[in-house]
Amino acid sequence: MTDNRPAGRTRRGPGAAVAAAAALVLLVSGCSADAEPADGAGGRGAPGPEPVLVGGLLADPSSIAVRPGTAELWITNAGDDSLTVVDPADPSSARTLRDGYGEHFTARPSGIAFNEDGSFFAVSNDSTNEVRDMEFVLNPERDAHFRNNNFMGPSLFSPETFALAGQNKPYLADWPQPGLSHDPPDDIPEHQCPAEYWSDTIARCVWPRQGSHLDMLHGNPLSTGILHDAVNAYYVLDGCGVGDTEGRCSGPGHVARVDFNRDHQEGNGFHGDGTTRRYIDLPYERVDGVPSGMMAHDGWIYYADTGAGVVRRFQPDSGRTEVMVSNWNDSPAGHGEHGPGVIDWSHLPDGPGDGDDPDTVRTWVDEHGDRDAIDAAGDRWIMPRETLAEYSYVWDATVEAAGPATAERPSGLAAGTDSWFVADNATGRILEFAWDGSPGRVIETGMAGVTGLAVSEDGRTLYFADTDSDGVYSLTLG
């Protein structure tokens, strides 16, 4: 397993982390770290964090979400591209799930966000499309053109079907589709089609679908956090930024909003109704291997600018939106749509062709791009990586620091009832702030890899993840 922790961090066993957790103290803001615990957060002598799940099923846990309407914690594992689900009241319920093509669809997952009723969720992926642990035996050309090509971004799933798709690794250890695209051609003749995929009924080569994902957009490699907005739209932290002339990531990053719109159903590949909106002026600096939290409150979106050591907030409806490239089919782009849509590009005979082919994307930009807007963006222009229904920039959005810069390396964020919390990945502290930004309690976890945070639906429990111990812990807020 590759270790992505910041330099200087020493990995300890679960027992050491649990012992450190038991020594947690709660401090009133302004007191020194060795001050006597004060009343608050449950009062003097309030219980320290309790382990929910440590080791075993977890591998570098990076973020946590409470599935709405349930007590379930959904935890992303950056170490092995999986998700772990557990009811904190019943640790024996824990199970780890991995999508059949997890090295692409949940690649180094950094964040997870549910929609309002918990029927869908999306994952951000802190990846350049390494497709690690995958050998392209059937189609070795993918090693040269698909691996490490930054064709990466957030994925959409149903919690009911995640990792249950018929196409799964135990049954097939390689992607059988020819070429580089998601959708193989439908007109492969029988003699070129593997026998197990040929259908005599429809006289066609029926390729297996790719995993359990419902949709995916690929314009945000090295994305380190995600937040649901509305319907199938999500905010993500794009750590790649502008990149160089070869499409490699160079940073600094920014905030983006992606809308999957109508999903392509399990394992398919049409993304031509998706939209991407880049908040190009909202600064974000990624730190390798450290997730960055996002949350919403009172019309503001909060995000951890990890590399800058500050939590920022912005107003999503502020600024000026400029469409850089319009819909490939000359119709107005759909926004806020939901439900099953087109399955793959081959079902659109008048379409531009598979949307992840670089030449096809360049043709789309040439034919539908606003050349004046693109030229005016100058070195801030980011070439899209697939054909979309709309590709736009937001300029001059309102942004400000959300509180004092007291976290050295802010990571997870969580909204409580009367306050909010930020995990400091550098110190192992969890800091509390009132909604006006004034500092509150300081929670000394004694752990070296604090990342994701989540608050229970009743607001009484704070959950946090620690990569150092491969653990998730709970803390009673009182």
Per the CB < 8 A criterion, the answer to whether 247 and 323 are in contact is: no
Question: What local confidence, expressed as pLDDT, does residue 455 receive?
Answer: 98
Per the CB < 8 A criterion, the answer to whether 287 and 426 are in contact is: no
**∠ Cα 98 104 106 (to 5°):** 45
* For residues 204-226, average pLDDT: 90
pLDDT tens across 422-463, in order?
A: 999 999 999 999 999 899 999 999 999 999 999 999 999 999
Q: Which residues contact 113 (CB under 8 A, 6 or more apart)?
A: 65, 121, 122, 226, 227, 228, 234, 294
Per the CB < 8 A criterion, the answer to whether 352 and 328 are in contact is: yes
DSSP letter assigned to residue 152: B
Q: Is the pLDDT of residue 409 over 90?
A: yes
**CA separation (Å) from 89 to 49, 242, 416, 474?**
14, 45, 20, 11
Q: Which residues contact 300 (CB under 8 A, 6 or more apart)?
A: 313, 314, 315, 402
Question: What local confidence, expressed as pLDDT, does residue 295 receive?
Answer: 98
Count CB atoms within 10 A of the CB of residue 117: 9
Q: Give the model's confidence band at 183: pLDDT under 50 very low, under 70 low, under 90 confident, else very high.
A: low
Q: Which residues contact 328 (CB under 8 A, 6 or more apart)?
A: 272, 351, 352, 364, 368, 387, 388, 389
Q: Which residues contact 164 (CB under 8 A, 6 or more apart)?
A: 212
pTM, two decimal places: 0.89
pLDDT tens across 236-290, in order?
A: 999 999 876 666 888 899 999 999 999 998 888 899 999 999 999 999 999 999 9
The tally of CA atoms less than 13 A away on the side-chain side of residue 21 is 27
In the chain, what percentage of residues exceed pLDDT 90? Answer: 66
Cα 104 from Cα 150, distance rounded (Å): 11
- Of the given ranges (130-134, 327-331, 344-348), which has the lowest mean pLDDT? 344-348
Cα-flanking dihedrals φ and ψ of residue 311, to 5°? -100, 130
Question: What local confidence, expressed as pLDDT, does residue 173 receive?
Answer: 61
Closest CA to 75 of 92, 89, 94: 94
Residue type, 108: R
The DSSP element (H or E) to which 70 belongs, if any, is: none
- Helix and strand tally (H, E) in the chain? 5, 29
Tokens 């932290």 sit at which residue? 237
**Can you list the alpha helix ranges (DSSP code H) found in 146-232?**
none
3-state secondary structure 351-399: CCCCCCCHHHHHHHHHHHECHHHHHHHHHHCCCCCCCCCEEEEEECCCE
Question: What local confidence, expressed as pLDDT, does residue 11 receive?
Answer: 43
Question: Computed from CA positions of residues 188, 193, 197, 201, in that sequence, does the dihedral angle turn out positive or negative?
Answer: positive
DSSP letter assigned to residue 5: S
Per the CB < 8 A criterion, the answer to whether 198 and 206 are in contact is: yes
Arithmetic mean of pLDDT over the chain: 86
Greater model confidence, 43 or 256: 256
Q: Coil, strand, or helix at residue 444?
A: strand
pLDDT tens across 139-182, in order?
A: 788 888 888 999 999 999 999 999 986 555 554 566 666 666 55
Exposure string for 74-92, b = 16+ CB within 10 A, e = fewer: bbbbbbbbbbbbbebeeee
Question: What local confidence, expressed as pLDDT, does residue 9 receive?
Answer: 38
Which residues in 200-266 belong to E strands, given as ranges? 204-205, 215-216, 223-230, 233-238, 253-259
pLDDT tens across 23-32, in order?
A: 343 433 333 3
Q: Give the model's confidence band at 293: pLDDT under 50 very low, under 70 low, under 90 confident, else very high.
A: very high
Q: Is the pLDDT of residue 227 over 50?
A: yes
Greater model confidence, 4 or 161: 161
